[in-house]
């Protein structure tokens, strides 16, 4: 539940919820339920935000959606973070060519935040929404980690060390070096990965409590080696591939964005997947170049 005594948290919860459903409209009762507010508190909050044009209210249907004032805020953010606009342009080109879904994620604290999404997935198992947040836990966000500094890598691996078997934990460590060598990450689409991916996203207003983390760590321990990272294109099993990821670097040599291809057509062959990986890496390199970014020259993790 949302902290009813924290008005700032309540405003952010409403914005985050509506931003994750930008084309939809919700009644007061629906917003209140989603963000964990009483109807009275939700009414006061939504009225204030609507009066300031941060929300739009449909008088006929009595529903709420994102308002015009947020458009100006978003445009200002895009002007500051120019790389995202470049990435979206190239993501459109890539998804039109490959007919899959591409999303861009960045680190927000210790979360992975989906900043942009283009294309339509051919499989509905991996539908992403802009604004979704997931905790940075293995094997999620692995491109951010593979090119990270020692402390970043150490913290990431520590999250898995207590829950993965010895051989799988070793494979996770080796995967970081593999990703750096080939330039992209490739995860298998097994059943444990699908459950983990679905479990990590909580409705707005719900907290990551003890039971949440217990379930997450249990799922991490069940991941198969292929779900952690596919060693090669010939390793595609009956479940196929869940995602391809490639890093976009900033001018200071850090991973600014992680491009993620997902929603692949069923029974995708190894040769076609290899072509997808080549095009993804080329797109990430093009964005890096236009952003005046550079690949870091650091020792392998």
CATH number at residue 14: 1.10.10.10
Answer yes or no: are the C-beta atoms of 114 and 131 closer than 8 Å: yes
pLDDT at 296: 84
List the Cα angle 205/211/212 in 5-degree steps.
55
pLDDT at 179: 95
Residue 298 covered by a domain: no
Residue 250 covered by a domain: yes
The verdict on 280 and 244 lying in the same domain is yes
The verdict on 66 and 137 lying in the same domain is no
- CA dist 242 and 160 (Å) reads 20
The verdict on 111 and 217 lying in the same domain is yes
The verdict on 272 and 166 lying in the same domain is yes
Domain end marker among 51, 71, 91: 71
Residue 261 covered by a domain: yes
pLDDT at 288: 94
pLDDT at 222: 95
The verdict on 95 and 234 lying in the same domain is yes
The verdict on 22 and 131 lying in the same domain is no
Residue 223 covered by a domain: yes
pLDDT at 6: 66
Burial state string for 90-101 with b = 16 or more CB within 10 A and e = fewer than 16: bbeebbeebebb
Residue 2 covered by a domain: no
Domain count, the chain: 2
Q: What CATH number is associated with residue 179?
A: 3.30.450.40
The verdict on 91 and 13 lying in the same domain is no
pLDDT at 9: 78
pLDDT tens string 18-43: 877 777 889 999 888 888 888 888 88
pLDDT at 129: 78
Answer yes or no: are the C-beta atoms of 222 and 277 closer than 8 Å: no
How crowded is residue 177: how many other Cβ atoms within 10 Å of its Cβ?
A: 12
Instruction: Give pLDDT < 70 ranges for the chain.
Output: 1-7, 72-82, 123-127, 203-205, 237-239, 298-301
List the Cα angle 56/59/60 in 5-degree steps.
130
Residue 300 covered by a domain: no
Residue 265 covered by a domain: yes
Strand pairing class (241-249; 255-262): antiparallel
pLDDT at 35: 84
154: domain range?
81-290
pLDDT at 214: 93
The verdict on 197 and 85 lying in the same domain is yes
How would you write 188-236 as a 3-class SS string? ECCHHHHHHHHHHCCCCCCCCCHHHHHHHHHHHHHCCHHHHCCCCHHHC
The verdict on 46 and 89 lying in the same domain is no
pLDDT at 80: 52
Domain end marker among 71, 96, 122: 71
The verdict on 58 and 103 lying in the same domain is no
- Find the farthest-apart pair of alpha carbons in the chain and give their distance in angstroms, rounded: 61
Domain end marker among 71, 94, 114: 71
The verdict on 151 and 54 lying in the same domain is no
pLDDT at 81: 58
How crowded is residue 149: how many other Cβ atoms within 10 Å of its Cβ?
A: 13
For 2, the token pair is: 């949302």
pLDDT at 204: 61
Residue 150 covered by a domain: yes
The verdict on 65 and 106 lying in the same domain is no
Answer yes or no: are the C-beta atoms of 258 and 104 closer than 8 Å: yes
């Amino acid at each position: 539940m949302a902290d009813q005594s924290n008005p700032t948290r309540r405003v952010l919860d409403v914005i985050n919820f509506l931003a994750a459903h930008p084309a939809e409209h919700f009644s007061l009762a629906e917003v209140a339920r989603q963000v964990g507010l009483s109807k009275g508190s939700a009414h006061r909050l939504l009225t204030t935000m609507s009066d300031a044009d941060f929300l739009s209210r449909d008088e006929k249907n009595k529903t709420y959606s994102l308002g015009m004032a947020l458009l100006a805020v978003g445009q200002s953010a895009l002007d500051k973070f120019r790389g995202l606009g470049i990435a979206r342009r190239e993501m459109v080109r890539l998804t039109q060519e490959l007919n899959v879904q591409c999303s861009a994620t960045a680190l927000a604290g210790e979360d992975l935040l989906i900043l942009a999404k283009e294309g339509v997935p051919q499989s509905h198992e991996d539908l992403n929404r802009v604004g979704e947040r997931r905790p940075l836990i293995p094997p999620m966000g692995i491109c951010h980690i593979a090119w990270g500094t020692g402390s970043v890598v150490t913290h990431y691996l520590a999250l898995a060390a207590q829950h993965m078997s010895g051989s799988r934990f070793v494979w996770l460590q080796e995967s970081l070096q593999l990703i750096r060598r080939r330039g992209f990450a490739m995860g298998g689409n097994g059943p444990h990965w699908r459950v983990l991916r679905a479990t990590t996203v909580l409705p707005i207003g719900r907290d990551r409590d003890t039971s949440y983390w217990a379930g997450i760590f249990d799922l991490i321990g069940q991941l198969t080696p292929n779900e952690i990272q596919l060693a090669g294109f010939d390793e595609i099993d009956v479940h196929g591939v869940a995602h391809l990821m490639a890093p976009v670097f900033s001018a200071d040599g850090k991973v600014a964005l992680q491009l993620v291809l997902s929603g692949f057509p069923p029974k995708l062959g190894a040769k076609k997947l290899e072509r997808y990986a080549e095009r993804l890496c080329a797109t990430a390199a093009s964005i890096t170049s236009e952003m005046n970014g550079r690949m870091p020259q650091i020792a392998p993790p």
